[in-house]
Structure 1
Amino acid sequence: MVEASHRYRGGPSKHKLHYRKEVEIRTTLQELLLYLIFLINLCILTFGMVNTHMYYFNKVISSLFLDTSVPGDERTNFKSICSITDFWKFMEGPLLEGLYWDSWYNNQKLYNLRNSSRIHYENILLGVPRVRQLKVRNNTCKVHSSFQALMSECYGKYTSENEDLSDFGIKSGTDWTHSTSNTNSPWHWGFVGVYQNGGYIFTLSKSKSETKNKFTDLRLNSWITRGTRVIFIDFSLYNANVNLFCIVRFCKVSRGTGLILATYLSSKQEIQRAEPMKKWKEKLEKRYYSTELQDDYQPVTQQEFHKLFLYVVAVEKELEYISLKLNRVMRKCSALQH
């Protein structure tokens, strides 16, 4: 009666229940194995280009420019800059001394410089550094009626609509006239806002003395004004010993309160192995390491670095494609088991 009642109710037998459990366990183990294979491949592709040289390269450069104090003022370095005066002290001190290495520790001249600088004797400076600022126009914000008798000027936050495009100061050269960007490089996404390309730009000289005079001239003629909202300092390095490029950007941001915020970009995402990007490397070598000395050296542009970004995007797409393939295989294996 019990067996008849059990069959009448349509309940599964113990043998079928045991078989289903075996199938579920086998399927789960197969899916787990496939997932582990996918995870291993993902880790290899993601961390395959990462090594310890990237970390130490980044640490050396950041220590040289960020932690070096202004001569005669041990409390002032890049990280502690909070005023325009501190910024010019950094420009004429740690930045100037850090960019131009033309002699050994015993004051003997460096060999085979090829009209370039060797930072820490091993890292060649590609081209010349570039300094760029973005400004906002006056009257981009409204002064409260109670204070209009005391203050007539008002400089708002940076936006593309508020950007100042007019000439100022001496009004000669790209230092004092606005330059529009002719590249499709991405904008800079900072902590305070998003900053577009172009602005008031000047490139440093290959001579230390000329660069120092340039800084003095800009400081005395008030290149930084109340409308200045961000200043970028960009340069690129190459170390042949570890075959690595380093693209560095210092960023000084003003929010209109008189306080300057400092940021530094030279993360592991910006320090890449040169070997996987052979074409990009050969292009740079042809440009900067030709036997003929050129007088029109330029820093590695954002457009060239944008190609590096596109390479990373291509790798990400490959990973997504592999993930889709593995998911299809897993679904087929599950269907075969059923």
Structure 2
Amino acid sequence: KKDIEKLGVTPLPDNHKSDKYFYQIIVFTGQRKHAGTKSKIHFVLSGDSDTTHVRTFADPHRQIFQRGGIDSFIMAVPKSLGLLNCIRIWHDNSGQGSSSSWFLKYLIVRDLQTMEKFHFISQRWFAVEKEDGNIERVLPIASEIEKQEFSYIVSKKSYHSVSDGHLWFSIFSRPPSTKFTRVQRCTCCFVLLFISMFLNIMYYDLSNEAKTNSASLSFDSFYINPQQIIIGVIVEVFALIPSLLLVQLFRRLRSRRQQISPLRQALYAIKSHLEIKKENKQKLGRTFPWWYIFIAYGLSILLVGVSIIFIIARGIEFGDEKTQKWLTSILSGFFSSIFLTQPLKIISLAIFFAFFCRKPNDDKEANEYLNDDQFDLNDDEEYLHSMKVNSLFLYRSPIRANRLNKGEITFARDQRLKEIYMWSILREIFIYSCFLSLLCIVTYSNHHPNASLQVNHLRNYFLDSDYMQISTINQYWYWLENSFVENIRAQQWYNGDAPRNLSGYINDKSNRFIGWATMRQLRIKSQLCQVKNEIISTCQYDYSSSNEDKHSYQPGWFNETIETYSLSISQSFQYQSSKDLDTYTYVGDYGNYEGGGYVYEFRGRLSDLQSNVSQLHQLAWIDNQTRAVIIELSLYNPNAQLFTSVIFLTEFLSTGGIYLSSRFEPMNFDAFTSMYQLISIIVYMIMILYFMWIEIRLLLKLKWNYFHRFWSYIEIGIIVCSWTSVGIYVWRYKECQRIGELFEETNGYVYINLQLASYINDILTFLFAFCCFFGTIK
């Protein structure tokens, strides 16, 4: 019903009952934000022969000049205006707020006696706060060259293509003039969806169960990989072919009953004995009889029915993995249809027609309002009598057009700009409040809810009183032999039962090793004292990469020995580089320690470990040249599904003191812990893109002055940190995938260093912190 109202042709309320020459005026309002208006629009139309008085556009039955609207009017004048030259058009700025402004695309004026059409191109704002601030403009008649300009044609076709050509969006934005109904569009969408489901299930029915792609994103037991998305997009392209055929079948249906154009209806209401002198039927291409609608709906039911039968028949045989892949492909195909295939189809067709089919008279938006029939509008007595009885033309005194003077326009502009500024402040506060809340959600969702509990447990478990009281080398060995070694092997239960199925677990029986623990020592060279000393000739300075000892020794730090030791003891006196160990520089409180060193691996039974540690103590593995001992553990808690990197750093200072520090870094190797986190990140990045768009517009407007604003750097900080976080997130994801694959292949019985993953996680945390910092300031 609302669509039919929009199609109506409205006689102007200020038509005089004695006027007998008619023009049709079609007004095209733009699709930009706040393009519609509630202000009163006035105009003066000028031709070679005459000029109209001030006329007013109005319709008592419906709202006119809405955003993206097309409004058609019939204007009566005493005689022909001749060849039209220009139209002066303005509004009185009487609308409230944004409803006072108006964006006019163009007008078409047609002489209903000669059927000659005149185009007036505007593409300008009639607003005190926009562009040049004018609310009155003179539009000259457009030449043939102007009507065929690329920008003008694209402007005409773009909105119509989206509102009518996009299968999904057109359900809501269908142009009133088209005969392709919303029910028919829903039917085509329904068919497209089921055909894509059918083609997807055909593919997965023929394919074998494949191993989960290493690049997949997992959400608990559900995962998505690029292959599923690509399959969904390709299938959607194939499904588009039958849906396009069905769309064309619906579009080309002829009406069952002959339709009377809105213009003819309006003229019949004015002049009941109207005669058509000449009828030029517009070529609409090949059409189908009205009863083809049964074929179209029958074909739709057939396609949907076959798809449902096949989906039920084959889908019940699918396992969980294939079902997940199938659902993922359906969703990716659905969204690609909305945001990829349909927009690409619209853009390509619009550009093609703009370049190669520049027909000035080919205006689909106006065709429903323009009828090529030539009417007999000569005056007769019967017409005048019928008007007295029932006429749409009533005698009215000339309407007074309210024209604002310069002072009033300036005042209105100031008031409107203040209003816009006020709303922009409120909108910005609201957007940034939402952004900051979303940023906090993204930041905290990056951490596992059990991470803090895991850290507290491991701290209480390892950092006992023996560890906290270490101040000498002997106390350090005592802690290793009597506390640490016992803690890293699962022992008997409290009731004396053996720890069955707990191989590789530490003594808390909840966390298991990924491989084994390592103890790495960094030493310095013994060198001559820099200052001559009468007491000693050699000195041991603080650690640096230049004086690090990288030589290999025999047990006891000798160059040669005749005694035989186990392999693990001998290797602990052999220097290994960071490349051999796959380790990186570690930052301590008193130095930055390289990734190489002398490494002892805690491998074997508890009794073997105790014996080896005792032997290392006897061989003075830690002496006055030792500057740091780093114990590294990589743990996995299957109950919390958390990996934890544990590092105990003991720094042996040149002053003789010992400084202890520890680090517990829990990590979750799932890319996203929940769908809620994924949605939050997607919305967050959409907001970042929105901020980028605002800043780019501001940069183009202010140029170098943009960098003189303090808030510009805050915005740049938010944008740069956010996009850097995306890169680091991908890096962490790939590193976690590598570790996860290695852990799965070896069942956790090979040493995996989590140091790099821990560093990447720290960088990501720092970036999130900077985002929160800049966001809070803003």
TM-score by length of 2: 0.35
| Deviation, structure 1 residue 301 | 1.7
Q: Deviations over 1:270-327 (max 9, x none)?
A: 21123225734343132225xxxxxxx443225xx42464477679889999xxxx9x
The letter for the 2-side match of 1:132 is R
The letter for the 2-side match of 1:122 is S
Is the counterpart of residue 29 in structure 1 residue 488 in structure 2? no
Aligned to 2:647: 249
The answer to whether the 8 A contact 1:127-1:288 is kept is no
Sequence identity percentage = 24
Provide the rounded CA distance (Å) in 1 between the counterparts of 2:760 and 2:633. Answer: 20
SS in 1 for 2:576: coil
Matches within 5 A, 1:264-275: 264-266=662-664, 270-275=665-670
Segment of structure 1 superposing worse, 207-216 or 96-105: 96-105
Is the counterpart of residue 153 in structure 1 residue 538 in structure 2? yes
Query: Taking structure 1 as reference, are residues 318 and 194 closer, same or farther at Cα in structure 2, changes over 3 Å only?
Result: closer
Provide the rounded CA distance (Å) in 1 between the counterparts of 2:445 and 2:511. Answer: 24
The answer to whether the 8 A contact 1:119-1:125 is kept is no
Aligned to 1:58: 455
Query: Which consecutive unaligned segments of at least 5 residues does structure 1 have?
Result: 1-9, 70-76, 290-296, 327-338
Aligned to 2:488: 99
Aligned to 1:306: 756
Query: Taking structure 1 as reference, are residues 94 and 314 closer, same or farther at Cα in structure 2, changes over 3 Å only?
Result: closer
Is the counterpart of residue 112 in structure 1 residue 504 in structure 2? no
Is the counterpart of residue 211 in structure 1 residue 211 in structure 2? no
Query: Taking structure 1 as reference, are residues 34 and 186 closer, same or farther at Cα in structure 2, changes over 3 Å only?
Result: farther
| Deviation, structure 1 residue 141 | 4.8
Segment of structure 1 superposing worse, 84-93 or 120-129: 120-129
Provide the rounded CA distance (Å) in 2 between the counterparts of 1:42 and 1:140. Answer: 56
Aligned to 1:139: 527
The letter for the 1-side match of 2:492 is S
Find 2:589's aligned residue among 167, 191, 203: 191
The answer to whether the 8 A contact 1:134-1:200 is kept is yes
The answer to whether the 8 A contact 2:528-2:538 is kept is no
Matches within 5 A, 1:167-182: 167-168=552-553, 169-170=557-558, 173-182=570-579
Is the counterpart of residue 288 in structure 1 residue 747 in structure 2? yes
Provide the rounded CA distance (Å) in 2 between the counterparts of 1:199 and 1:136. Answer: 11
Segment of structure 1 superposing worse, 190-199 or 34-43: 34-43
SS in 1 for 2:636: strand
The letter for the 2-side match of 1:192 is Y
| Deviation, structure 1 residue 199 | 0.7
SS in 2 for 1:182: helix
**Higher-Rg member (1/2):** 2
Provide the rounded CA distance (Å) in 1 between the counterparts of 2:747 and 2:495. Answer: 28
Matches within 5 A, 1:7-86: 15-66=412-463, 68-69=464-465, 77-86=466-475
Provide the rounded CA distance (Å) in 1 between the counterparts of 2:618 and 2:456. Answer: 34
Query: Taking structure 1 as reference, are residues 161 and 96 closer, same or farther at Cα in structure 2, changes over 3 Å only?
Result: same
Provide the rounded CA distance (Å) in 2 between the counterparts of 1:101 and 1:134. Answer: 29
| Deviation, structure 1 residue 82 | 1.2
Query: Taking structure 1 as reference, are residues 161 and 320 closer, same or farther at Cα in structure 2, changes over 3 Å only?
Result: closer
Q: Deviations over 1:163-193 (max 9, x none)?
A: 0122342557321121112166431011111
Q: Deviations over 1:93-134 (max 9, x none)?
A: 110121111321112111213x42243121112211100000
Aligned to 2:548: 163
TM-score by length of 1: 0.77
Q: Deviations over 1:52-83 (max 9, x none)?
A: 411111111111111x23xxxxxxx2222111
| Deviation, structure 1 residue 88 | 0.3
Query: Which consecutive unaligned segments of at least 5 residues does structure 2 have?
Result: 1-406, 560-568, 672-732
Query: Taking structure 1 as reference, are residues 49 and 134 closer, same or farther at Cα in structure 2, changes over 3 Å only?
Result: same
The answer to whether the 8 A contact 1:229-1:254 is kept is yes
Find 1:229's aligned residue among 611, 623, 627: 627
Find 2:511's aligned residue among 97, 120, 123: 123
Segment of structure 1 superposing worse, 212-221 or 120-129: 120-129
The answer to whether the 8 A contact 1:170-1:176 is kept is no
Provide the rounded CA distance (Å) in 2 between the counterparts of 1:275 and 1:140. Answer: 53
Provide the rounded CA distance (Å) in 1 between the counterparts of 2:520 and 2:528. Answer: 21
Segment of structure 1 superposing worse, 185-194 or 12-21: 12-21
The letter for the 1-side match of 2:540 is Y
Query: Taking structure 1 as reference, are residues 86 and 319 closer, same or farther at Cα in structure 2, changes over 3 Å only?
Result: closer
